[in-house]
C-alpha cells in the first residue's frame, strides 16, 4: 500500500528482503491509496461439488479484500497457472509477475468431520517469491460465508499487520414503507457485506440509535413504547430483552426520557443521556447493580457520550451555556477534568472514539452543509472526510480504520429523502455504499466475531 501524502511504514528490512516470518506494518491516515494487485485463485478440489463451493468462497474473499480499498483483484481470465496445478506445485512466480500480481492467494477445499469443510490456503509475496502465510480454517458447510470472511481477515492481517473487519455484522434501523405520520422502523442485522439479513424487531414500536456491546452479545437502542422513549437492551442470542434490560422500567422515576446509549468497554454498564425539565445530562448505569450515577449536571443539553477504549475518559456533545454552541467535550469517567476539544466553526455532534483510541469521529454542520470528520482526542488534526445534504451517525469498524455513517438524500416536495449506509476509510478517498435495505440508517458495527 502506498500513500502520496502520508504513510508510515515500519520495515524489518527493505520490502524485497522480507522473510515470511517478518510482519509488514502499514498505517495510512491521509492521502490517496493505490490498491495492490492480488490474484485470488479458486480453492480447488477434485470433487466437482466442493470445487464449485471453493470457487464461491474465493469470490467472497476477493470481494472482501477489494472492499477494503487496499487491494485490486486481478481477473481470473489473466491467470496463466491453473488452480489445479497450484494444488500440488509451487507457484511459477514469473507467470504471476507477468500479470503484475503483487500478492497471490491460492488453496484447496476438502471435507472435514461431519458437515465440516476445511480451507487450506497460502499467501505469497510475488515479488520476492516467498510464502507469507499458510493456514487451515475449518467450519460448517452451511456457514461458508463466515469461513470466507475469516480467510479474508487472515490475509488482511498478514499484509497490513492490522486486524481485519470482514467477519463482522452490522445492526441498523430500517424504515418500513413510505415515510409519513405513522412511520415504522425496525432493527435489522446483517453481515458486513449486506448478506444474511434478518429482522430483530417487528416494527410495532419505533426504534433508533442501536449500539453494539463490545463483547458482541447485546445491542442497546432507543425504543418508543406507549409514547415514552427509553433505552432498551436486546440479547442477540435470543432476540429478546436480556435479564440485564428492563431499563425503561428502572429509569422512569429518574427523568422524562433516556436516550443515546453506549456501552462501556466491559459491556457491564452503559452511558446515556437522561432528560429532566427539558435539559439532558450524561449518566452512567451499572447493569448489574442497577445503579445510576450522574456525570454532568442538568444545566444544558449534554448527549452522545462515548467512552475511550480503556474506559478512562468520555467524549460527548454539549451546548454548555457558559460557552454556547454545540461542541465536543472530554471528561474523566467520573465526570471530572472537563475540557472542550472542538474549536472550529459550525456545530459538532455525535463524537465516537476509535477502538484504537487514536481518533474521534464526529458529525459537523456548517453553513447548511453536513460533514463527517476526524480529530485527535486532544482536538488537534481536525479534518473532514465526507459530506452531503445530511450525513450523520458515524461508527467505527473494530480495527479502527474504517467508518460507517448514514447519508440521506434531500428527497422532493413533501417526501423525505431515504437513508443509505456508507463506508469510508480514514483517508476519506474510498467511500462506497453498503448493501442494505432501501431506507436504512443509524448503523452500528459489531466487534470482530470468532
CATH code at position 200: 2.120.10.30
351 within a domain of the structure (yes/no): yes
What angle do the packed helices 144-160 and 48-67 form, to 10 degrees? 50
Please give the pLDDT value at position 450.
77
Q: What percent of the chain has pLDDT over 70?
A: 86
Please give the pLDDT value at position 415.
47
218 within a domain of the structure (yes/no): yes
Please give the pLDDT value at position 412.
54
Please give the pLDDT value at position 240.
83
The arithmetic mean of pLDDT across residues 105-129, rounded, is 96
Same domain, 259 and 280: yes
Q: Is 60 exceeded by the pLDDT of residue 369?
A: yes
Task: Provide the domain limits for residue 407.
Answer: 169-445
**pTM of the full predicted structure?**
0.89
Q: Is 60 exceeded by the pLDDT of residue 17?
A: no
CA 51, distance to chain mean position in Å, is: 32
Please give the pLDDT value at position 140.
95
Boundary-marking domain end, from 136, 160, 184 = 160
**Rounded Cα–Cα distance for residues 92 and 71 (Å):** 21
Q: Is 90 exceeded by the pLDDT of residue 28?
A: no
pLDDT band at 276 (very low <50, low <70, confident <90, very high): confident
Same domain, 146 and 184: no
Residues 294, 272: contact at Cβ < 8 Å?
no
pLDDT band at 252 (very low <50, low <70, confident <90, very high): low
Please give the pLDDT value at position 226.
72
Residues 160, 104: contact at Cβ < 8 Å?
no
Residues 6 or more apart from 33 whose CB is under 8 A from it? 1, 2, 3, 69, 70, 425, 427, 429, 430
| pLDDT tens digits, 421-443 | 999 999 998 899 999 888 999 99
The arithmetic mean of pLDDT across residues 91-109, rounded, is 98
The arithmetic mean of pLDDT across residues 307-329, rounded, is 89
450 within a domain of the structure (yes/no): no
Residues 55, 41: contact at Cβ < 8 Å?
no
- CA distances (Å), origin 417, targets 43, 90, 185, 390: 43, 54, 15, 10
366 within a domain of the structure (yes/no): yes
Same domain, 130 and 84: yes
**Rounded Cα–Cα distance for residues 36 and 34 (Å):** 7
**Rounded Cα–Cα distance for residues 128 and 252 (Å):** 65
The arithmetic mean of pLDDT across residues 344-364, rounded, is 96
Same domain, 90 and 220: no
Q: What is the mean pLDDT of the chain?
A: 88
The arithmetic mean of pLDDT across residues 111-137, rounded, is 96
Residue found under cell 442501536: 210
C-alpha closest to that of 303 among 354, 263, 262, 358: 262
Boundary-marking domain end, from 95, 129, 160 = 160
285 within a domain of the structure (yes/no): yes
Same domain, 138 and 244: no
Number of domains observed in the structure of the chain: 2
Q: What percent of the chain has pLDDT over 90?
A: 72
pLDDT band at 7 (very low <50, low <70, confident <90, very high): very low
**Rounded Cα–Cα distance for residues 360 and 372 (Å):** 11
pLDDT band at 25 (very low <50, low <70, confident <90, very high): very low
- List the grid coordinates of 253: 422515576
Boundary-marking domain end, from 132, 160, 188 = 160
CATH of the domain at 25: 3.40.50.10070
Same domain, 123 and 150: yes
- CA distances (Å), origin 112, targets 109, 168, 412: 9, 24, 55
Same domain, 324 and 364: yes
Please tell me the least confidently modeled range out of 56-65, 152-161, 177-186, 389-398.
177-186
| pLDDT tens digits, 155-197 | 999 999 999 999 999 999 999 876 666 778 999 999 999 999 9
What is the maximal distance between C-alpha atoms in the chain?
74
Q: Is 70 exceeded by the pLDDT of residue 31?
A: no
The arithmetic mean of pLDDT across residues 103-125, rounded, is 96
Higher model confidence: residue 411 or residue 367? 367
pLDDT band at 23 (very low <50, low <70, confident <90, very high): very low
Same domain, 37 and 184: no
Burial 191-212 (b: 16+ CB within 10 A, else e): bbbeeeeeebbebeebbbbbbb
Higher model confidence: residue 276 or residue 398? 398
Write the burial class of residue 279 (CB in 10 Å: 0-12 exposed, 13-18 middle, 19+ buried). middle
Please tell me the least confidently modeled range out of 91-105, 144-158, 296-310, 410-424.
410-424
Same domain, 175 and 156: no
Same domain, 138 and 118: yes
**Rounded Cα–Cα distance for residues 189 and 440 (Å):** 11
Same domain, 348 and 273: yes
Amino acid at each position: 500500500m502506498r500513500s502520496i501524502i502520508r504513510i508510515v511504514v515500519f520495515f524489518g528490512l527493505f520490502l524485497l528482503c522480507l522473510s515470511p516470518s517478518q510482519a509488514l506494518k502499514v498505517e495510512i491516515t491521509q492521502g490517496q491509496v493505490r490498491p495492490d494487485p492480488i490474484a485470488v485463485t479458486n480453492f480447488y478440489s477434485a470433487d466437482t461439488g466442493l470445487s464449485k463451493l471453493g470457487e464461491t468462497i474465493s469470490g467472497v474473499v476477493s470481494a472482501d479484500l477489494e472492499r477494503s480499498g487496499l487491494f485490486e483483484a486481478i481477473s481470473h481470465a489473466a491467470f496463466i497457472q491453473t488452480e489445479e496445478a497450484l494444488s500440488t506445485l509451487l507457484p511459477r512466480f514469473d507467470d504471476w509477475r507477468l500479470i503484475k500480481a503483487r500478492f497471490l492467494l491460492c488453496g484447496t477445499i476438502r471435507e472435514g468431520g461431519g458437515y465440516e469443510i476445511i480451507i487450506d490456503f497460502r499467501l505469497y509475496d510475488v515479488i520476492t517469491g516467498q510464502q507469507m502465510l499458510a493456514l487451515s480454517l475449518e467450519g460448517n458447510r452451511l456457514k461458508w460465508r463466515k469461513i470466507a470472511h475469516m480467510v479474508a481477515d487472515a490475509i488482511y492481517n498478514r499484509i497490513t499487520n492490522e486486524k481485519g473487519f470482514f467477519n463482522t455484522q452490522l445492526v441498523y434501523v430500517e424504515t418500513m414503507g413510505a415515510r409519513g405520520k405513522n412511520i415504522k422502523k425496525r432493527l435489522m442485522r446483517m453481515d458486513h457485506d449486506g448478506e444474511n439479513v434478518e429482522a430483530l424487531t417487528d416494527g410495532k414500536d419505533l426504534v433508533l440509535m442501536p449500539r453494539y456491546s463490545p463483547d458482541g452479545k447485546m445491542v442497546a437502542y432507543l425504543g418508543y413504547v406507549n409514547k415514552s422513549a427509553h433505552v432498551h437492551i436486546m440479547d442477540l442470542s435470543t432476540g429478546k430483552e436480556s435479564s440485564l434490560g428492563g431499563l425503561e422500567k428502572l429509569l422512569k422515576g429518574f427523568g422524562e426520557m433516556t436516550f443515546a446509549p453506549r456501552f462501556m468497554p466491559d459491556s457491564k454498564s452503559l452511558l446515556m443521556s437522561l432528560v429532566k425539565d427539558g435539559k439532558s445530562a450524561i449518566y452512567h448505569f451499572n447493569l448489574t447493580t442497577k445503579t445510576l450515577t450522574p456525570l454532568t449536571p442538568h444545566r444544558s443539553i449534554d448527549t452522545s457520550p462515548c467512552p475511550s477504549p480503556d474506559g478512562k475518559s468520555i467524549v460527548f456533545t454539549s451546548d454548555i451555556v457558559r460557552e454556547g454552541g454545540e461542541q465536543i467535550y472530554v471528561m474523566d469517567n467520573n465526570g471530572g477534568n472537563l475540557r472542550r476539544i472542538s474549536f472550529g466553526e459550525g456545530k459538532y455532534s455525535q463524537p465516537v472514539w476509535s477502538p484504537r483510541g487514536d481518533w474521534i469521529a464526529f458529525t459537523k454542520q456548517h453553513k447548511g452543509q453536513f460533514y463527517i470528520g476526524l480529530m485527535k482526542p486532544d482536538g488537534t488534526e481536525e479534518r473532514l472526510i465526507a459530506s452531503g445534504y445530511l450525513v450523520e451517525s458515524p461508527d467505527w469498524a473494530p480495527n479502527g480504520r474504517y467508518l460507517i455513517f448514514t447519508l440521506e438524500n434531500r428527497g422532493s416536495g413533501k417526501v423525505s429523502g431515504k437513508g443509505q449506509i456508507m463506508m469510508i476509510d480514514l483517508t476519506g478517498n474510498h467511500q462506497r455504499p453498503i448493501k442494505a435495505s432501501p431506507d436504512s440508517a443509524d448503523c452500528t458495527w459489531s466487534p470482530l466475531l470468532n
